[in-house]
Amino acid sequence: MNWKTFLAILARDAHVARRNFVALLFQTFLQPLMFVFIFGRVMVGSGYMPPSYKSLLLPGIMAICMVGTGIWAVAMPVIAEFQFTHEIEDRLLAPMEISWLAVEKVVAGTLQSLAAGLMVIPAAWLLLRPGVDLRVPHPLLFAAVSLLVALFSATGGLALGCSMQQTHIGLMFSLIVAPMIFFGCTYYPWSALESFPILQKAVLVNPLVYASEGLRATLVPQFPHLPLPAVLAVLLFANFLLMAMGLRKFYGKAVS
Amino acid sequence: MLAGIRTVDLRKVYTSPPPVAAGVGGFSFGGSKAKSKQPKPQITALDGVSLEIKAGEIFCLLGPNGAGKSTTVGILTTRVRPTSGQAFIGDHDVWLNQVVVKRLIGVVAQRPNLDFNLTAREILTFHGAYFGLSHHERSKRAEALLERFKLTDRADHMVRGFSGGMMQRLSIARAMMHDPQVLFLDEPSAGLDPQTRLLLWEIVREYNQTGKTILLTTHNMEEGDALCQRLAIIDHGRVIALGTPCELKASVPGGFLLRLRFGVHSPEFLERLQSLSGVREVRATDGVGADLYADRGGSLVPAVAQLASAAGVELHDVHISEPSLENLFLHHTGRSLRE
Ligand SMILES: Nc1ncnc2c1ncn2[C@@H]1O[C@H](COP(=O)(O)OP(=O)(O)O)[C@@H](O)[C@H]1O
Ligand SMILES: [Mg+2]
């Protein structure tokens, strides 16, 4: 393992992210914050939603931002750089094992996802205030869940990006990412699905459910949520699975 | 540290269609059902290529499109896994010691692969950083290379708007950034204007002066001829001829060209030239010149001179060109390299 090379490639990604910072900001936050404004502010303010919905919504929005950012930050460059611009070739020829390049992508995606998650909390809080009741009884647990969620988004981005043709990017978002978000217990808690028993079981295959429920359990534990140990176990498992799959596919793309 | 290149009986069979056709594939999440029904394609790109390229040599792979040049370069640069056989850079097996090998090589791929998110200068400095150069060292080298490749005035522009020639020059500069022992150039002059091509040749020769090994591929025989100390002609994944440009061209029968200039000449005189032994074809270029295609060069001159003085025609000038690689390829395959 060659740390100098690894860090230099990470620095390159940071440089590019900094260059595209404003575009990234809009892309990451505009849609979720509009949602926060309409549902958390307008609907609550006009009495269509109970005031407690503000606190319930925030962890879900955080999950959407983190997962969206991580997937986008890893999958898009992987697709474009392999198939369209070939610009990854210079980094494939850097003096480091090829698989470490995939790891670097995951690290970069994880960091971006964490940054998005940390930034959306104050932004949403400002939009919703007053009446947001964040408790965070165990900050360390919250940090652990956030890290696992960020990792999940990045490994998922790697696996997706390496499985997808450039012409299917739109399809990837409408067929995989969008259903994941809507059936991911982001805008409602898992317990809200009680009256739809089949759906409630079915959504359990969606890792985003565990991400939003995990954040809910650590940010606003006053609401019902999935048990935290189960959340941690599933997220951990999903991360391993997606990472292994991503690495294998990445290697297959890199070497003919 | 000097490193040569060696391949032993390299074979490569691709089991997927070439990337251009792969676009219709679609999702490949998990095992793709649609694809597994069709039999896997078997494309033999290399069929037993053994080469020995000395350290410090400029070596050229010459062959038409699809001959297997890029596949050879791919295997030698860790990007393609050989189906069988071995490839070495210096003493290092390329497949088994990828990281060591990557430090020794610089690569200019056939298709442009510049980092579109960076400026020209950043492309060079980040490349230097990947190879562990210090901050000072990489700024210094980047500046010198930008200067050498005449890119200084566009150094801080994004490369997105660069012309093909500028991108190509920057790609070569990038490959030289970490001062590799072995430089690979896959069709470096395709699409370059003549002036830039001359700059490229000059730079390649200069880089070679410092003892570096250079492997370049081309389907342009003039380039192979002008630039390389030795070359291999490959077709359908096999080496069909190997040697110095002179040796190779001398192996072609009837490949010499004698350009003659006379005071004045007549059709009867040209007919008599045609009847000289070894002459294949005579073409008048104008009232005073004639091109003589023959299977020998200098040894034909006395006979021509004798014939001329006997006919009272004054011989002013003789220029002998050796057989060309184009003719060699034609001779071996019955096809023209230009196709
Ligand atoms: N990645 C690939 N997958 C499948 N077939 C390939 C791939 N790359 C090249 N080929 C095929 O291998 C043969 C040799 O190609 P290549 O090495 O690119 O030749 P050249 O560089 O001399 O034009 C061609 O028939 C080409 O279609
Ligand atoms: Mg080629």
Shortest distance, CA B272 to any CA of chain A (angstroms) = 60
Q: Output the 3-class SS for A172-211.
A: HHHHHHHHHHHCCCCCCCHHHHHHCHHHHHHHHHCHHHHH
- Tell me how far the alpha carbon of residue B66 lies from the centroid of ligand 1, in angstroms: 6
Distance between CA atoms of B170 and B159, rounded to whole angstroms? 9
What pLDDT was estimated at residue B327? Answer: 63
pLDDT for B132 beyond 60? yes
Cα B75 off chain centre by: 17
CATH of domain B5-15+42-248: 3.40.50.300
Distance between CA atoms of A149 and A66, rounded to whole angstroms? 7
End-to-end CA distance of chain A: 23
* Residues belonging to chain A: 256
Distance between CA atoms of A136 and A128, rounded to whole angstroms? 18
Question: With contact defined as beta carbons under 8 Å apart, do A197 and A29 qualify?
Answer: no
Residue range A90-130, pLDDT digits in tens: 999 999 999 999 999 999 999 999 999 988 888 888 888 88
Q: Is A23 exposed, middle or buried (0-12, 13-18, 19+ CB in 10 A)?
A: exposed
Nearest CA to ligand 1 atom 27: B18
Sheet with B289-294, strands from edge to edge, namely B279-284, B289-294, B256-262, B315-321
Could you tell me which residue, B312 or B47, shows the higher pLDDT? B47
Q: Residues 46 to 65 of A: which have CB under 8 A from any B CB?
A: none
Q: Kindly report the number of other CB atoms within 10 A of residue B15's CB atom.
A: 10
In Å, how far are A17, A144, A147 from A152, measured between CA atoms?
20, 12, 8
Residue range B65-84, pLDDT digits in tens: 889 999 999 999 999 999 99
Q: What is the domain range of residue A90? A: 3-255
Q: Give me the residue label for tokens 């200098």.
A: B298
What pLDDT was estimated at residue A36? Answer: 85
Strand pairing of B256-262 and B238-243?
unpaired
- Domain locations along chain B: 5-15+42-248, 253-322
pLDDT for B252 beyond 70? no
- Lowest-confidence pick of A37-46, A182-191, B281-290, B298-307: B281-290
> What is the number of domains present in chain A?
1
Q: Which CATH number fits domain B253-322: 3.30.70.1340, 3.40.50.11540, 3.40.50.10800, 3.40.50.410?
A: 3.30.70.1340
CB-based contact A91 B130, cutoff 8 Å: yes
Strand pairing of B5-14 and B58-62?
unpaired
The angle that helices A98-128 and A3-19 make with each other, rounded to 10 degrees, is 40
Could you tell me which residue, B285 or B82, shows the higher pLDDT? B82
Distance between CA atoms of B241 and B235, rounded to whole angstroms? 10
pLDDT for A29 beyond 90? no
ipTM of the complex: 0.89
Distance between CA atoms of A124 and A61, rounded to whole angstroms? 8
Identify all chain B residues contacting A88, using CB atoms and an 8 Å cutoff. 113
pLDDT for A9 beyond 50? yes
Residue range A207-242, pLDDT digits in tens: 999 999 999 999 998 988 889 999 999 999 999 999
Alpha-carbon torsion (B66, B70, B76, B77), positive or negative: negative
What ligand is nearest to the CA atom of residue B64?
Answer: 1
